[in-house]
Amino acid sequence: MAGGIGSRFWPMSTQKFPKQFQDILGVGRTMIQQTYDRISKLIPKEHIFVITNKEYVALSQQQLPEIPEENIVGEPLMKNTAACNLYMANKIAEINPDATMIVLPADHLILKEDVFLEKVELAFDLASKHDYLVTLGITPTRPDTGYGYIQFVEKKGSEYFKVKTFTEKPILEIAQNFLESGDFLWNAGIFIWNIKSIHHAFEMYLPEMMQHFMACEYNSENENSCIETIYPKVQKISIDNGILEKAKNVYVIPAILGWSDLGTWTSVYENTDKDENGNAVKLKHLLTYNSKGNIIRLKNNNKAVIIDGLENYIVVDTDKALLICPRDNDQLIKDYVLDLKSFK
């Protein structure tokens, strides 16, 4: 899945050039390329698909020349992740109705690749044999309101658990309670299911969407025009709100992956080197006084910067925009960007 615009990551991530197509951590591969590198160790490239907005099809092809061109699928509108999951499941069903698929966000950092591959193999094993919707679960480290929270039924000695409750993006107070209880995992947003199970879930929980998508013939000449006709009618909802929160057959595999959704400035802050005052800055000409816990990114690294008395802030400067915001408010950047659109 590579169709988001990463607006919590503005102004580095923009509608024209979203974060999944950028080398955010400076490691030489973009986020989507890293996602491909990781999963291609398990899945042949002919079986790897990218689903993104049609605006990013060319960019995806450019960055992933290994993948057959027809496997890069463009959506006419941004409808969030339920629609793109159903679209993709329908295309795969046409090739093999018994297939088991893994759904991966294109913007995650996973440091422990061997653990990831091992857990994914277990997930494939479970999802190919059972009517399970499988997700990977991460031990939460902070009351982040940008994630899904999973409560599960503990079973001694098992490597996977039945999910009791799934709460997508709770408010801070609830996230805090979940964290303190020690009973919850974060949803990593990586899903594994067989085509029949996910179709069944859509029939149960998003039947209207299922109806719309049934009108099209997949992998046919008419697919594109049919998709163009149905998309405006399709509900805009995430797979988490639409399916995972409601389904009764969700299972979680806890996994220590060195995982991070590089979705916010705080997550980048946590995953980059910091100076002795905890400032994540990579600038040639920087002087800091009484300042700590900041993340500062400038497009022009040659600019001289002086900060005095700044604590726990995000400062990002590009050609077109300057953002200055407390780190604690990083989830609000999405709203700021919306406000900016109406302001223009």
Cα–Cα distance, 212 to 109 (Å, whole number) = 34
Q: Helix, strand or coil for residue 136?
A: strand
Cα torsion 290, 295, 300, 305 to 10°: value is -10
Q: Is residue 189 involved in binding ligand GDD (CB under 6 A)?
A: yes
The entry of Mg ion, ligand GDD, none that residue 84 binds, CB within 5 to 8 Å by partner kind: ligand GDD
**Near ligand GDD in 57-76, by CB under 6 A:** 75
- Give the integer Cα–Cα distance in Å for 151 and 251: 10
Q: Tell me how far, at minimum, the Cβ of 313 lies from Mg ion, in Å.
A: 22
Residue 60's binding partner out of ligand GDD, Mg ion, none, with CB under 5 to 8 Å set by partner kind:
none
Q: Which of 90, 187, 279, 294 binds ligand GDD (CB under 6 A)?
A: 187
From 160, 178, 186, 218, residue interacting with ligand GDD (rule: CB under 6 A): 186
How many other C-beta atoms lie within 10 A of the C-beta of residue 103? 20
**Among 24, 107, 137, 143, contact with ligand GDD (rule: CB under 6 A):** 107
**3-state SS track over 236-272:** CCCHHHHHHCCCCCEEEEECCCCEEECCCHHHHHHCC
Closer CB to Mg ion, residue 13 or residue 288? 13
Of 78-86, 196-204, 271-279, 314-322: span binding ligand GDD (CB under 6 A): 78-86
Rule CB under 6 A: say whether 242 interacts with ligand GDD.
Answer: no
Tell me if 51 contacts ligand GDD by CB under 6 A.
yes
Q: Dihedrals φ, ψ of 194, to 5°?
A: -90, 160
State which H helix or E strand residue 135 sits in: strand 133-138
End-to-end CA distance of the chain: 30
**254-275 burial: b if 16+ Cβ within 10 Å, else e:** bbebebbbbbbbbbbbbeeeee
In the complex, minimum distance from the CB of residue 186 to ligand GDD, in angstroms, rounded to a whole number: 5
Does 147 help bind ligand GDD (rule: CB under 6 A)?
Answer: yes
Specify the stretch interacting with ligand GDD by CB under 6 A; choose among 99-107, 118-126, 208-216, 315-323: 99-107
- The option from ligand GDD, Mg ion, none interacting with 209 (CB < 5 to 8 A, set by class) reads none
SS3 89: helix
- Helices 31-39 and 113-129, axial angle in degrees (round to 10): 60
Distance separating alpha carbons of residues 48 and 146, to the nearest angstrom: 27
Q: Minimum Å distance from CB 124 to ligand GDD?
A: 19
Three-class secondary structure of residue 35 per DSSP = helix
| Binding region for Mg ion (CB under 5 A) | 261, 263
Minimum Å distance from CB 4 to ligand GDD?
3
We find the least distance from the C-beta atom of residue 261 to Mg ion, in angstroms, to be: 4
- For ligand GDD, the binding residues (CB under 6 A) are 1-4, 20, 51-52, 75, 78-81, 84, 105-107, 146-148, 168, 186-189, 240, 261, 263
